[in-house]
Structure 1
Amino acid sequence: MPKNPDTTTSSKSSSKARPLALVAAVAVAAALLGTVSYTATRPEPRTDSSRQETAAGQQPDDATAHLAKLARRDADDRLAQGRADAPVVLIEYADFKCGYCGKFARDTEPGLVKKYVDEGVLRIEWRNFPIFGAESEAAARAAWAAGQQGRFWEFHRAAYAEGVKERGFAAGRLDALAREAGVDDLDRFRTDRDSAAARAAVKKDQSEAYALGATSTPSFLVNGQPIAGAQPDAAFEQVIEAAKARAAR
């Protein structure tokens, strides 16, 4: 029996529609991530829930699911904290020379760790995203090297302490930060931070961020949901709670 040409055309169009819709949805996510920046210029809380959902970057389910797959959930990941099987994963793309990254690290992240990571709800996965030149790159590799001795988060805390970035991240300063972080073997630390493995690890994270369209730091994904704009603590908590609820369904 001959096929109806209209039906055939409709079938072909339908088969193309889904992948095209996914590409478009991911493009929307990339555009949102391209504007993500923890700026302090307008820090007032956002109480309008509909505006908050828009700021957080609502997207089609396909796009969110696609971005959620970027969570590595590797139990041996030295640059992550929280259970590998936590229902919610926050991915942060950040630079140690970024002042707003430091603000997040000092003012917001500790509360999220206490409220969600310690309770097994949230996992935080760090991605090195050096965008401010050679010292950014050096600090990223040093952080990775500290992680090889299980001291990444201690290095992270030392590097983001108030006033540290203003002193720069020359080799001597990186050694001092490693000592402050409790890195035991400084010779190994220096070797690791200058290694091909360190450069490859940083490049992998950086490439992932650029592929998403991220151009500023810090940029975040929470179970694939971008968080855009100058967000207060409550904004992160709202998105985490929503992701937790969806994961429980």
Structure 2
Amino acid sequence: MAKRHKIKIKTPHEITRMRVAGETASEILMELAKSVKPGVTTLEMDQLAKELMKERDCKSAFLGYRGFKGQICISVNEEVVHGIGGPRKIQPGDVLKLDVGIVKGGWIGDNAVTVAVGDIPDETRRLLIATEESLFAAISYARSGERLADLCGAVEDHVKPLGFTVVREFVGHGVGRDLHEEPQVPNYRPQGKSPILMPGMVLAIEPMVNAGTPSVRILDDGWTVVTADSKPSAHFEHTVLITEGEPELLTWRPRGVPGL
């Protein structure tokens, strides 16, 4: 029971503010996804994110977080999450993970999508589709009275029969004024007692799914997470509000994998 009380319940006023932050984060993510094309560097994408944030009177939630040097996380192919923009040029056949977190009015909006750049292998196409599907499988449990463990388990339950694996070292999280709040939201069913979801909870649900091994390692930059077998990975994320009824996507965007 004590763990349950660590999860912050947002007031109606706070939820209104979070809707604004979520909508802004989604707008920026969609603009970035539309701007992905071969020949553009990941640093140019990061700088575009900076301009889009300035236009919308918000700032990056990631820049400076524990020393992170990017405006957004931008990860290519075998890079799972936490990639930092640099000189690498986007190539045809790449899959590009864009993770945008912003602060607007003191509140966080956090969302991510994986973009297919031109023609990609069929297996990678299956990976991207399955990962987005697993996000919505988890969101279907984002309801008052459901257990957090069932929401988390829905991701692995969806992708495992398709031959894919979930990353265990990195997880989703609660979100609000702080980027990372209680509870942790893994993409597998955790053991032990599980909190019951209640109206006013806000979760960043973010499947990270690999084509091969679930094992990952961190590059020498101290941030970029890559698959241990160098096979591709996919990442999708929404900030989701638990209500008395249907889950509310605070970072709503049209469903579907960009580029497919």
TM-score of the pair, normalised by structure 2: 0.29
Higher relative contact order (CA 8 A, sep 6+): 1
Structure showing greater Rg: 1
Instruction: Identify the structure with the greater strand proportion.
Output: 2
TM-score of the pair, normalised by structure 1: 0.30
